[in-house]
Chain A
Amino acid sequence: MSKILININGKDYSAEPGKMVLDIAKEVGIYIPTLCHYEGIKPQGSCRICTCKIDGRNMTVCTTPATHRMVIETNTEELEKIRATIVELLFAEGNHFCPACERSGNCELQALAYRYKMMVPQFPYIFPAKDIDAKNPKIMIDHNRCILCKRCIRRKQEPENPSWFVFKDRGNKVQINLDHELTADFDDELAQKAMDTCPVGAIIRKEKGFDVPIGSRKYDKNPIGSDIENQGVTL
């Protein structure tokens, strides 16, 4: 099928029709923040952080396929404000004690807060009552840190295997739940895979943590998305 033409931030790019706008932007070196999106799993568009202005409407670009002559704005002041507010809401809504978290420095939520220079959320902290599930010998689920992005549930490990995680309860009581039977014989590799799926520190490998010194962690020196912005590839 022939290529289509789309306009991102005032510049024209040719792209494959039907490809998600997020992926096209990434290919041309434009970073759009994501949280609930994980490469290789079906996008769900629930965290809204990738919201961009498409033909004048705010839409999540991880779930929007590109069409011919689409006009997209990714980084207007209004959009950046919306994104910063979403990050602030997530911080106020959970119990995110960064100094005591194993994921600190490698956490996508924290990295976005750094990117948006969040000094303090504008919302009051809720301090919701949350538990920790440490029954599995290899991994620990800390609901305090979970942002309910559902990445762990949606990332089915193999086609024939069911997911290790499910959602339990509804509304503001909803939480991820680990299938203890399925994961009883977890090895380190699978535990690491589960942990890598999580954008925050809600899924943590046991007996491991704080092994990268402060200063060498993923987001210590370079803001999240700088790898995409610095690649400088144009189609």
Chain B
Amino acid sequence: MSKPIVATTSLAGCFGCHMSLLDIDERILDLIELVEFNKSPIDDIKTFTKQCDIGIIEGGCCNSENVHVLKEFRKNCKILVSVGECAIMGGLPAMRNNNAPISECLEEAYLNCVSVQANDEKIIPNDEELPMILDRVYPCHEIVKIDYFLPGCAPRADLIWNALVALVTGNEMDLPYEVIKFD
């Protein structure tokens, strides 16, 4: 039987969850034995080259590119796993959701903030090459169907490891109290 194929991505995230994946220490050698990586920042494969079994999503959706990538993942992966608070509820980027409309956020960032110095023409970046920013940050499961959720900021390495092992071996996941944390 061929190895299960894993793809990973970081949408509106900080790469902390990927760091936590690397935090499995020497078990990373076992992981390489267990699975094959496809599109992922870990091996720098930029586009899907084949159908994958497990897609690991870090970060929520804050712009059109995030939505595009997430939909690509849904198309190309059998199982999608939301990893970390940002993928699950928007996380830190979603702090803009509850008060200011997006126009106010952009004006604060590019025009009114005290640290804005060299923007005399008062330009808010609008090049068509740039992805469009969304009205608010969306949790991944509000855009596509997500199969599993691993909370944490970042999720404990043991949680990611246990989940991956359970998915690959088909056994029930080991979920001790200490590994489910929201921070």
Give the B-binding residues of A (Cβ under 8 A): 91, 95, 97-101, 104-105, 110, 113-114, 117-120, 124-125, 127-131, 144, 214, 220-223
Contact: B150 with A119, CB < 8 Å? yes
Instruction: Choose one: A95, A104, A119; the contact of B151 (CB below 8 Å).
Output: A119
Distance in Å: Cβ of A153 to nearest Cβ of chain B: 23
Distance in Å: Cβ of A3 to nearest Cβ of chain B: 36
**Given A97-B95, A130-B98, A223-B177, do A105 and B90 touch, yes or no (CB 8 Å)?**
no
Instruction: Choose one: A98, A113, A125, A214; the contact of B90 (CB below 8 Å).
Output: A125
**Given A128-B98, A144-B98, do A120 and B183 touch, yes or no (CB 8 Å)?**
no
In the complex, chain B residues whose CB is within 8 Å of the CB of A125: 89-90, 94, 97, 139
Q: Indicate whether B82 reaches chain A with its CB closer than 8 angstroms.
A: yes
Contact: B92 with A100, CB < 8 Å? yes
In the complex, chain A residues whose CB is within 8 Å of the CB of B55: none
Instruction: Choose one: A98, A124, A128, A129; the contact of B153 (CB below 8 Å).
Output: A98
A98 to B148 alpha-carbon distance, docked (Å): 20
**Given A120-B88, A127-B98, A144-B98, do A99 and B178 touch, yes or no (CB 8 Å)?**
no
**Given A120-B151, A223-B177, do A99 and B136 touch, yes or no (CB 8 Å)?**
no
In the complex, chain B residues whose CB is within 8 Å of the CB of A99: 85, 91-92, 153, 182-183
Closest 6 CB pairs of A and B: A99-B153, A98-B182, A127-B97, A119-B149, A120-B149, A104-B183
In the complex, chain B residues whose CB is within 8 Å of the CB of A124: 142
Size of interface on B: residues with Cβ below 8 Å to A: 28
Known: A97-B95, A114-B177, A120-B89. 5 other contacts (CB 8 A): A97-B92, A105-B183, A110-B182, A120-B141, A129-B98
**Given A97-B92, A99-B85, A125-B90, do A113 and B182 touch, yes or no (CB 8 Å)?**
yes
Q: Please provide the chain B residues from 99 to 124 with a CB less than 8 Å away from any CB of chain A in the complex.
A: 99
Q: Indicate whether B166 reaches chain A with its CB closer than 8 angstroms.
A: no
Contact: B183 with A98, CB < 8 Å? yes
Contact: B178 with A117, CB < 8 Å? no
Q: Indicate whether B175 reaches chain A with its CB closer than 8 angstroms.
A: yes
The residue on B at minimum CB distance from A98 is B182
